[in-house]
Amino acid sequence: MRGRWLVSAGVPYSGDMICVSAVDPDELLDAAAERPQARGPRRRTVSEGPAAGREVLSNPASARISRVAGLSRRNARAKHRRFLVEGPQGVREAVRHAPGRVLDVYLTEAALERHSEIWDEAVAAGLYVHVTTQQVMDAMSPDAQGLLAVVATEEATGSEALAAALEGARLVAVLTQAQDPGNAGTIIRAADAAGADAVVLVRGSVDPTAPKVVRSTAGSLFHLPVVTGVALDDAVTALHNAGLTVLAADGRGDFDLFEAESLLEAPSAWLLGNEAHGLPSEALSQADAVVSIPIYGKAESLNVAAAAAVCLYASARAQAQNSGRS
């Protein structure tokens, strides 16, 4: 008969025969209890500074860290209604301007030394703040620069949200089928800098909570309403109902941007096209005027984010000058 051996407290087992040693079973249990047990990572705390005594999260494979890392995927963001904010500028603006939506803030020890004011503001706001190792931070996001926040998604979708955002608005950016996350985020940032009242991403555009979009806004996502989920037709109707002139930015425009002062002085919304194909014909047909940016050099055209910045600032300047004259 072919023998089999089980190693259990050193007792051999072969076939149906069990060889029992003279050792008392209780002694075996005692011996097992005395053997060193496997332990997880040793807990460590911050030794000094504003976070002194706080535990340092050091296990990159923990369920918490995996859940946070999963928010880089659109389906996880949609399911849990939260998203990532990476980097000191974005986290700072989220803490300052939307603390009620910030669920957790994570900092490495090095980032805590460089950006202690973010820690102080987050703690003062009563937020959950955590110190992590660099390895844990990298597991959550390779682009966090030592600082990361988990933020609840704001419900700014549909016609009602758009109507609320347009109340009293004088300058709005409307992205039609914008697909590049870097461009979308940069346009949101440019709109914020130019003093726009809202940004609209019509249906079919990139998710504004995608990590690269959020990073590209540099915190501007928390400064003005960003409305999504509206069809182009409905957006144009809402803009007109709000008393806004709808301008389309296109290289084949009937008006030169720098010679359209009368158009730019009025409250207006800029329709901005897709990076590859520009504005579709349906958008051009619904605009009150199509405006082009003159090209003085040899470039064929401007990147859509650069064009958006030029158009928004031209409107902001004209409106400011008109306000000063009135």
pLDDT score of 325: 60
pLDDT score of 306: 96
pLDDT confidence bin for 23, thresholds 50/70/90: very low
The answer, yes or no, to whether residue 2 has pLDDT greater than 70, is no
pLDDT score of 314: 97
CATH number of 56-152: 3.30.1330.30
The answer, yes or no, to whether residue 83 has pLDDT greater than 60, is yes
Largest CA distance in the chain: 106
Mind listing the pLDDT tens digit for each residue in 216-232? 999 999 999 999 999 99
Task: For residue 317, give the amino acid letter.
Answer: R
Q: Who has greater pLDDT, 18 or 310?
A: 310
- What are 120's two structure tokens? 């102080």
In this prediction, residues 44-51 reach a mean pLDDT of: 79
Mind listing the pLDDT tens digit for each residue in 298-322? 998 899 999 999 999 999 999 999 8
Number of other residues whose CB lies within 10 A of the CB of residue 152:
14
pTM: 0.84
pLDDT score of 277: 82
* Dihedral of the alpha carbons of 58, 63, 67, 69, in degrees to the nearest 10: 40
- C-alpha triplet 137, 128, 77: angle, nearest 5°: 60
* Cα separation, 52 vs 112, whole angstroms: 11
pLDDT score of 31: 39
The answer, yes or no, to whether residue 198 has pLDDT greater than 50, is yes
The answer, yes or no, to whether residue 38 has pLDDT greater than 70, is no
The answer, yes or no, to whether residue 9 has pLDDT greater than 50, is no
Least confident of 2-11, 59-68, 111-120, 159-168: 2-11
Most confidently predicted of 6-10, 50-54, 181-185: 181-185
pLDDT score of 322: 86
pLDDT score of 24: 42
Average pLDDT across the chain, whole number: 87
Nearest to 221 by CA among 277, 317, 138, 156: 156
pLDDT score of 42: 60
In this prediction, residues 9-32 reach a mean pLDDT of: 38
The answer, yes or no, to whether residue 50 has pLDDT greater than 90, is no
Domain residue limits, the chain? 1-38, 56-152, 159-325
Q: Who has greater pLDDT, 241 or 325?
A: 241
Mind listing the pLDDT tens digit for each residue in 260-293? 999 999 999 999 998 778 898 999 999 999 999 9
* Cα separation, 322 vs 306, whole angstroms: 24
Q: Who has greater pLDDT, 219 or 31?
A: 219
pLDDT score of 41: 53
The class of domain 159-325 in CATH terms is: alpha beta
pLDDT score of 46: 79
In this prediction, residues 82-106 reach a mean pLDDT of: 98
Per-residue exposure over 65-100, b if at least 16 CB sit within 10 Å of its own CB, e if not = beebbebbeeeebeeeebbbbbbbbbbbbbbbebbe
